[in-house]
C-alpha cells in the first residue's frame, strides 16, 4: 500500500507539472514557469520536497541512529566509531488550498519521508485546516521551530520539543502580534513495567495551551501542558491515573541584521514525551518496587542557540542544550540515564539555487545515575536539493 501511494504521488507530480491544463494556469517566477504548482479557479495544488543525502562519522563513542540521541549512545569497545550514509530524510509533500464561501480558505497538506522501519515510506504530516482549526497529524502545539537553530541533525538538540502527533487544534490571532492556541493531542505513555503495573490504552488527550507574542525582531511563546496518564494495576486489575504537568518558554531575537539568538526551556513532571533525549526512554512513569508505587518524575530541558549570516548564501549556527531528570531516587537504576549535554556547530552554503551544502560537528555527553559518563562525537556532511 505504501509503495502504491508513493507511485501515485510521483505520477501526479509529473501529470500536473508538465501537462498543459485545459483550464487554469501555472504560477510564474521571474518570468519562468514553476513546474510543480498548478492553479485553476479557486484551487491551487503544489508539490514540493527535497532530496537529502548525509554522510557522517562517529568517533570516541557512537549513537546507533541517524539522529544524535544522547540517551542511546554507546562507549563499548566494539562501538567506538562508525561511518554511515543516509538518504532516508528525503521528503515529498503535496499542498492543496481551496477558497470557499462557507469556510474561507481550506488547506490540505500531506508529507512523507523514508524514515520508517528499513527506510520505507513514512507519514510525517497529514492534516486539514480551516477557520483556525486543524484536524490530522502535524506538529504538536508544544513545538516551536523558530526557537531552535537549523542543524543537519534532523532531531536537533537533546532538550528540544520536536514531534508530530494526531490532534484536534485551534489557533486564534487576537492581533497581528498576539495569538493563542489549544489542542487535544493523541496520548502515548512510555513507562517502566513490572508484574505489578503495566501499560494500558489511554483515555485522555494531552492538552497543550500556548500564548505567542510576535514582533518584527523577536517572538516569545509560553506554553502550558496537562497530561492524564493511565496505567494498569495488575493485582487489582484496575486502571489508575497519574497526572503530568509542564510549562515551556521559547523564543528568538534578531539581535542585529546578521545575528539571531534563540532559546527554549521546559520543566515539569511526567513530560518525557516532550524532551528529545527523554522521549527515547520509558520515563513518563516510573515504578518503584520498594514500596509498590508509580511516580511521574520531575525533569527539564534548556537550550540556547545562535545563527550568524555572513552573506546571502552563507550562514553558521551553534547550539548547546541540557536535558535532565532533577533528582536521583532509589526507584531508578544506577546505570540508567540521568542527564545529557549536546553541542553542535554547523555551516550552511546555498550558493546555487535550491542546493544546500552543509557541514556539522556534534559532541554529546551522557551522565548516568551512578555518575558514570559516556560521550560521542559526530562529523557530518549534507547535500540537499529542494524544489
Work out the number of other CB atoms within 10 angstroms of the CB of residue 64: 11
Neighbouring-strand partners of residue 123: 112
User: What digits encode the pLDDT tens for the residues 160-190?
Assistant: 999 999 999 999 999 999 999 999 999 999 9
Instruction: Answer yes or no: is pLDDT of 379 > 60.
Output: yes
Q: What is the largest CA-CA distance in the chain?
A: 73
Q: Please tell me the predicted confidence (pLDDT) of residue 22.
A: 38
Question: Per CATH, the architecture of 42-386 is what?
Answer: Beta Barrel (2.40)
Closest to 270 measured CA to CA, from 292, 246, 249? 246
pTM: 0.88
Work out the number of other CB atoms within 10 angstroms of the CB of residue 116: 13
User: What digits encode the pLDDT tens for the residues 319-340?
Assistant: 999 999 998 876 667 888 999 9
CB of 302 within 8 A of CB of 324? no
CB of 325 within 8 A of CB of 272? no
CA 222 to chain centre: 18
Q: Please tell me the predicted confidence (pLDDT) of residue 31.
A: 47
Instruction: Answer yes or no: is pLDDT of 234 > 50.
Output: yes
CB of 250 within 8 A of CB of 235? no
Q: Where do the domains of the chain lie?
A: 42-386
Q: Which residues contact 140 (CB under 8 A, 6 or more apart)?
A: 161, 163, 164, 165, 167, 183, 185, 208, 274
Q: Please tell me the predicted confidence (pLDDT) of residue 331.
A: 65
Grid coordinates standing for 86? 543516509
Neighbouring-strand partners of residue 386: 50
- Residue 293 — pLDDT band, cuts 50, 70, 90? confident
For residues 182 and 134, give the distance between their C-alpha atoms in angstroms, rounded to a whole number: 10
Q: Looking at per-residue confidence, does 17 or 287 come out higher?
A: 287
For residues 37 and 44, give the distance between their C-alpha atoms in angstroms, rounded to a whole number: 7
Ranges 97-106, 297-306, 324-333: which has the least confidence = 324-333
The 8-class DSSP code of residue 275 comes to: S
For cell 515551556, the residue is 248
CB environment 76-93: b (16+ within 10 A), e (fewer): eeeeeeeeeebebbbbbb
- Residue 28 — pLDDT band, cuts 50, 70, 90? low
Average pLDDT across the chain, whole number: 90
Q: What is the mean pLDDT of residues 91-97?
A: 96
Q: Please tell me the predicted confidence (pLDDT) of residue 327.
A: 85
Closest to 68 measured CA to CA, from 345, 348, 387? 345
Q: Please tell me the predicted confidence (pLDDT) of residue 41.
A: 87
The 8-class DSSP code of residue 17 comes to: H
Amino acid at each position: 500500500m505504501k509503495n502504491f501511494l508513493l507511485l501515485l504521488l510521483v505520477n501526479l507530480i509529473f501529470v500536473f507539472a508538465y501537462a498543459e491544463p485545459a483550464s487554469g494556469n501555472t504560477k510564474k517566477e521571474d518570468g519562468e514557469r514553476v513546474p510543480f504548482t498548478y492553479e485553476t479557479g479557486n484551487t491551487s495544488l503544489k508539490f514540493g520536497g527535497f532530496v537529502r543525502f548525509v554522510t557522517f562519522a562517529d568517533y570516541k563513542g557512537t549513537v546507533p541512529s541517524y539522529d544524535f540521541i544522547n540517551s542511546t549512545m554507546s562507549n563499548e569497545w566494539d562501538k567506538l566509531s562508525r561511518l554511515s550514509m543516509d538518504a532516508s530524510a528525503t521528503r515529498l509533500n503535496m499542498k492543496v488550498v481551496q477558497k470557499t464561501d462557507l469556510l474561507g480558505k481550506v488547506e490540505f497538506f500531506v508529507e512523507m519521508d523514508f524514515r520508517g522501519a528499513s527506510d520505507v515510506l513514512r507519514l510525517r504530516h497529514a492534516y486539514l485546516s480551516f477557520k483556525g482549526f486543524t484536524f490530522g497529524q502535524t506538529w504538536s502545539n508544544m513545538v516551536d521551530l523558530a526557537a531552535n537553530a537549523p542543524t543537519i541533525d534532523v532531531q536537533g538538540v537533546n532538550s528540544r520539543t520536536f514531534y508530530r502527533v494526531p490532534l484536534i487544534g485551534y489557533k486564534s490571532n487576537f492581533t497581528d502580534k498576539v495569538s493563542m492556541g489549544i489542542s487535544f493531542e493523541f496520548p502515548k505513555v512510555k513507562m517502566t513495567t513490572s508484574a505489578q503495573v503495566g501499560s494500558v490504552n489511554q483515555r485522555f488527550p494531552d492538552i497543550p495551551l500556548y500564548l505567542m507574542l510576535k514582533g518584527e525582531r523577536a517572538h516569545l511563546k509560553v506554553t502550558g501542558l496537562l497530561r492524564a496518564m493511565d496505567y494498569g494495576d495488575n493485582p487489582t486489575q484496575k486502571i489508575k491515573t497519574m497526572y503530568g504537568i509542564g510549562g515551556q518558554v521559547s523564543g528568538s531575537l534578531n539581535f542585529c541584521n546578521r545575528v539571531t539568538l534563540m532559546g527554549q526551556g521546559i520543566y515539569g513532571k511526567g513530560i518525557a514525551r516532550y524532551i528529545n533525549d527523554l522521549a527515547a526512554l520509558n520515563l513518563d512513569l516510573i515504578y518503584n518496587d520498594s514500596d509498590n508505587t508509580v511516580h511521574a518524575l520531575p525533569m527539564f530541558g534548556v537550550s540556547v542557540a545562535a545563527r550568524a549570516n555572513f552573506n546571502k548564501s552563507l550562514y553558521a549556527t551553534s547550539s548547546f542544550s541540557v536535558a535532565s531528570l532533577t533528582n536521583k531516587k532509589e526507584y531508578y537504576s544506577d546505570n540508567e540515564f540521568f542527564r545529557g549535554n549536546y553541542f553542535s556547530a554547523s555551516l550552511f552554503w546555498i550558493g546555487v539555487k535550491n542546493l544546500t551544502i552543509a557541514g556539522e560537528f556534534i559532541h554529546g555527553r551522557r551522565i548516568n545515575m551512578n555518575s558514570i559518563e559516556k560521550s560521542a562525537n559526530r562529523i557530518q556532511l549534507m547535500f540537499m536539493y529542494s524544489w
